[in-house]
Structure 1
Amino acid sequence: MSLKVTPTGFGNNSDKKSVKEIIKRFAGETTAHGIPHVIERPKLISKIFWFTLVAAAFAVFCWQTRKLLQNVYASNTKIELINSQSVAFPAVTVCNLNKLKRSKLGNSTRWKEIVTIENRLDILQEGQNITASVEIPRNETLNRRKRENEQYQWYYDSFVNHFSDLDIVGNNNAAGYTETGVSEDDWYYTVINPTRQEFEEMGHQVQDFILDCRFNARQCKDRHFKTTQNQEYGNCFTFNGNNDEGEVERVTKAGSSYGLHLTLFIEHDEYLGSLTEEAGVRVMPHDRDIMPHPEDVGLSLAPGFSTNIGIRQVEIRRLSRPHGNCTFGGEDIGFLSNNSYNYSILSCQKKCFLDQLSTNCSCVTEGYLDYDGIRLCDRSDRMCRQSVEKDFYSNELECECPAPCRELVYNTQTTSARWPDDRNYHILRDDLCRTGNHKACTVLNDVHVARENLVNLKIYFQELNYELVEQVPDNTLESVIGTTGGLLGLYVGFSLITVVETFILIYDVIVQMCKRILPK
């Protein structure tokens, strides 16, 4: 008896039967609920029904899984109130609204234009006093009164003509905007732009500005303040700032009796009318590790008032990629700084602007340490500077400044009252004279002068607990796996065992097909 060997190929019935047997065996052994009905039902109509049902369930599973994967990196915000017995006190930056002391300008060539303007402002003020002393009929307008007073009119015309010589007013620019669309209110850039060294030498000094300082009912000294320069306000002084010693002041009690108490002397007689529109101080509570920008987010306090600023700390924690786009220090976006401060959105935006200004105009408008060796912009850079400012304000510089992944902010609530009181003035003056500030003791010779020169500030925590605002991911790896498994079980009847069985089926079919295709 002889055996007949049939070549392996697509037409071999034995091979077809083997694949069919593999699928039938799978249908009999699988833990899936719908697939055995599709394969083992005897009637075609029944097979079609079960196949349609399984296919529809699988389609719904795929649709819901796709929705799940689309939101796999979604996040939610969790707000929590954290109770604490001790809270780190924020850094507090205070600035005089006046940049430079008038008495320090002298008669040097560099400050000649500012001194000239100040002298003309004095003459203008004298002209106003002359006009006020003249008896004028009730029905005349202010312009008529100015024209009738020739001396006053001459002073006024001289003042306006000097500004016209500097190309700052006039030229059919009644709206106060240049042809680039940027306001020229900061016209002093076209006249003079003080350097850091000039601010240090000619600005208000900490020993004159801060007459009295108390923290947590203890006396604090000048050494507790770190001096920084700000192009808007000159010398600014930061309490509890980021210093080399690394000391952090903390409070264990809330309320106005605790925290930081300051008595500030603005030296109103030293103000420059051509550079300063307001009288008072600027204050900003902030995280001690970031650079203060009081010109953007500070509070202005008027002299002659005692101002209470109650603060509440809010800690914000954001998610980085893939859930969010925050930054842990700016390194990922190329934010590099030579100073000791950490990344913040304002610092990033200002650095982006100054980098572009340095590239396009070869000058900067802020005397930051990062730009040592680069000159400050002056009158000759006016058009170039305004062009960069216009691009910056219209978001055409494409500054990439995402939010930091961790941020401390301080919500404030402000109240104020007139200060000092008439009956308390003499006691206050005696106390200030004992501090050793001879100028304050001499200038503050009556209560009205005191109210023009003194600011009392109390800044404290309203409550020691703080608010934690945290972004948390909606989905974790465990939740995605669990939800996907639940959808498989609900719609298709699959479990992990079924998935393994399916992979084994696919492997067996592929092996059998390879046997049919490849020659022995």
Structure 2
Amino acid sequence: MTEEDKSKKEGLFEFFSSYRELFEFFCSNTTIHGAIRLVCSRKNRMKTAFWLVLFLATFGLMYWQFGLLFGQYFSYPVSINLNVNSDKLPFPAVSVCTLNPYRYKSIQNELEELDRETQRTLYELYKYNSSGVQGWTPNVHRKKRDAPRFPYPLELIPKKPELHRVVRSAAEEELQVKRREWNIGFKLCNETGEDCFYQTYSSGVDAIREWYRFHYINILARVPQEASINEEQLEDFIFACRFNEESCTKLNYSRFHHAIYGNCYTFNQNRSGYSNMWSSSMPGIKNGLTLVLRTEQHDYIPLLSSVAGARVLIHGHNEPAFMDDNGLNIPPGVETSIGMKKETVNRLGGKYSDCSEDGSDIDVKNLFRSEYTQQVCVRSCFQAKMVARCGCGYAFYPLPPGAHYCDYYKNKSWGE
């Protein structure tokens, strides 16, 4: 053994004189499979080349797999499991409305005057007798010095520019509309009266309906929130109620009033003091909710709703009943069956989505006495923005503290 070899062997660290010697040492002592073949078969260049290519290929595949694994990990994948079960499920809440808006006593005279004004307008525009009495003619002759009973009267707006100088009020002129020459609408202005525009419609029926709804909402806004509603009994609207072959009781329903759809009753709603929630495990009419309804039209307002019967909405126990969006109309004189299935979607939060668990992390105050839903958030946000911008709120949504509903006598420009 030479002095050089002894110095290498006796040193604390072993140094190599060349990269080839280092490579041979690595291949001879590593635990990587096949690496030793690069050294022991060096006399056969074909075999050495084969093992070299195989060694590099396996290393390339290994790093390729590493890339796939890291890419999949940092993409935050989601695993979806679908289970179809026939377990016992909680029965949803069911809201039923009479489609018969109640006329509050405090605004009864104004609503009757609005009806008479609408009848005059219909007769002036179309010679239509809405009373059904043959030979009936409304008092359409009004002195020009008399102001209209309601602001923002319906007007005939000419389509041709050369006729704009003869814009006529439908409440003052006895004129039957020629649809090809006129649009129908009403003028809305800001508080100063300097910035105005015409809300026009090509259909006179649509114009009258929107005009009636505009004034109806304004009249309704003056009704105190604590005012008592029509003391209609449940038995006057629902003749029979059975769930799972058992009769319903007064504890099974709660009651609220909708300005357009009248008195409404919600069955199986989660509320304080009520714990006997319905559940269902079998399909079929006998295992669900069965109602026999009586539909009347003693206060029917055709310009608010063009249907008769009842309106039904199926929703969650802790969700408010948004009858406008998701409800369906049930016609009278027929038997209607509604079947449904439940789908539950659990969405991951954090980096996987921008979903909210209960709305507590959203800068919108929940104005409804219910749990957080997307529509609750949208309507609460709309009401807050309207109060901030207009100084008053929309009559169909709850109010934030200290706010009041819009009234064009107090808020001159809220109609815009």
Say yes or no: TM over 0.5.
yes
The partner residue of 2:102 within 100, 103, 108 is: 100
> Counterpart amino acid of 1:53?
A
> Counterpart amino acid of 2:31?
T
How far off its partner does 1:104 sit? Answer: 6.6
Is 1:117 the counterpart of 2:146 in the alignment?
A: no
Instruction: Say if 1:81 and 1:62 are closer, same or farther in 2 by CA, change over 3 A.
Output: closer
1: distance between equivalents of 2:64 and 2:264? 64
Aligned to 1:216: 244
The partner residue of 1:241 within 269, 279, 284 is: 269
Aligned to 2:83: 80
How far off its partner does 1:209 sit? Answer: 3.5
Q: Report Cα offsets for 1:29-63 as digits up to 9, x if no partner.
A: 43333655678875799497467535643553354
Instruction: Say if 1:66 and 1:361 are closer, same or farther in 2 by CA, change over 3 A.
Output: same
Instruction: List runs of 5+ in structure 2 lacking aligned partners.
Output: 1-12, 159-181, 189-196, 202-206
- Describe the SS at the equivalent of 1:317: coil
How far off its partner does 1:248 sit? Answer: 0.5
Aligned to 2:73: 69
1: distance between equivalents of 2:302 and 2:340? 33
How far off its partner does 1:341 sit? Answer: 1.7
Percent of pairs with identical residues = 21
The within-5 A match list for 1:382-401 is 386=416
- Describe the SS at the equivalent of 1:284: strand
2: distance between equivalents of 1:170 and 1:199? 40
> Counterpart amino acid of 1:83?
S
2: distance between equivalents of 1:307 and 1:30? 79
How far off its partner does 1:298 sit? Answer: 0.7
Q: Report Cα offsets for 1:280-310 as digits up to 9, x if no partner.
A: 3211111112122121001112233332223
Instruction: Say if 1:229 and 1:31 are closer, same or farther in 2 by CA, change over 3 A.
Output: farther
The partner residue of 1:356 within 385, 403, 415 is: 385
Aligned to 1:326: 355
- Describe the SS at the equivalent of 1:213: strand
Aligned to 1:53: 57
The within-5 A match list for 1:429-508 is none
1: distance between equivalents of 2:230 and 2:253? 16
**Contact 2:312 2:328 (C-alpha < 8 Å) held by counterparts:** yes
**Alignment TM-score, normalising by the size of structure 1:** 0.54
**Contact 1:337 1:370 (C-alpha < 8 Å) held by counterparts:** no
Instruction: Say if 1:222 and 1:205 are closer, same or farther in 2 by CA, change over 3 A.
Output: farther
Instruction: Say if 1:31 and 1:82 are closer, same or farther in 2 by CA, change over 3 A.
Output: same
Instruction: Tell me the number of residue pairs that the alignment of Structure 1 and Structure 2 aligns.
Output: 351
> Counterpart amino acid of 1:100?
Y
- Describe the SS at the equivalent of 1:312: coil
- Describe the SS at the equivalent of 2:83: strand
Instruction: Say if 1:342 and 1:269 are closer, same or farther in 2 by CA, change over 3 A.
Output: same
Aligned to 1:32: 32
**Contact 1:73 1:322 (C-alpha < 8 Å) held by counterparts:** no
The within-5 A match list for 1:194-213 is 194=221, 197=224, 201-203=228-230, 205-207=232-234, 208-213=236-241
How far off its partner does 1:92 sit? Answer: 0.6
**Contact 2:379 2:397 (C-alpha < 8 Å) held by counterparts:** no
> Counterpart amino acid of 1:116?
E
How far off its partner does 1:89 sit? Answer: 1.8
- Describe the SS at the equivalent of 2:345: strand
How far off its partner does 1:212 sit? Answer: 3.6
- Describe the SS at the equivalent of 1:282: strand
Instruction: Say if 1:190 and 1:131 are closer, same or farther in 2 by CA, change over 3 A.
Output: closer
1: distance between equivalents of 2:130 and 2:216? 31
Instruction: Say if 1:182 and 1:356 are closer, same or farther in 2 by CA, change over 3 A.
Output: farther
Instruction: Say if 1:311 and 1:72 are closer, same or farther in 2 by CA, change over 3 A.
Output: closer
How far off its partner does 1:376 sit? Answer: 1.0
- Describe the SS at the equivalent of 1:263: strand
Aligned to 1:404: none
How far off its partner does 1:236 sit? Answer: 2.5
Instruction: Say if 1:129 and 1:122 are closer, same or farther in 2 by CA, change over 3 A.
Output: closer
Q: Report Cα offsets for 1:405-432 as digits up to 9, x if no partner.
A: xxxxxxxxxxxxxxxxxxxxxxxxxxxx
**Contact 2:383 2:397 (C-alpha < 8 Å) held by counterparts:** no
Instruction: Say if 1:162 and 1:276 are closer, same or farther in 2 by CA, change over 3 A.
Output: farther
> Counterpart amino acid of 1:60?
W
Instruction: Say if 1:102 and 1:358 are closer, same or farther in 2 by CA, change over 3 A.
Output: closer
Instruction: Say if 1:26 and 1:339 are closer, same or farther in 2 by CA, change over 3 A.
Output: farther
Structure with greater contact order relative to length (CA < 8 Å, sep ≥ 6): 1
> Counterpart amino acid of 1:279?
A
1: distance between equivalents of 2:41 and 2:384? 75
Aligned to 1:397: none
**Alignment TM-score, normalising by the size of structure 2:** 0.66
**Contact 1:209 1:266 (C-alpha < 8 Å) held by counterparts:** yes
Question: Please, what is the CA RMSD of the aligned residues?
Answer: 4.6
How far off its partner does 1:322 sit? Answer: 3.5
How far off its partner does 1:168 sit? Answer: 4.9
- Describe the SS at the equivalent of 2:344: strand
**Contact 2:392 2:403 (C-alpha < 8 Å) held by counterparts:** yes
- Describe the SS at the equivalent of 2:311: strand
Aligned to 2:332: 303
Q: 174-183 or 325-334: which moved more? A: 174-183
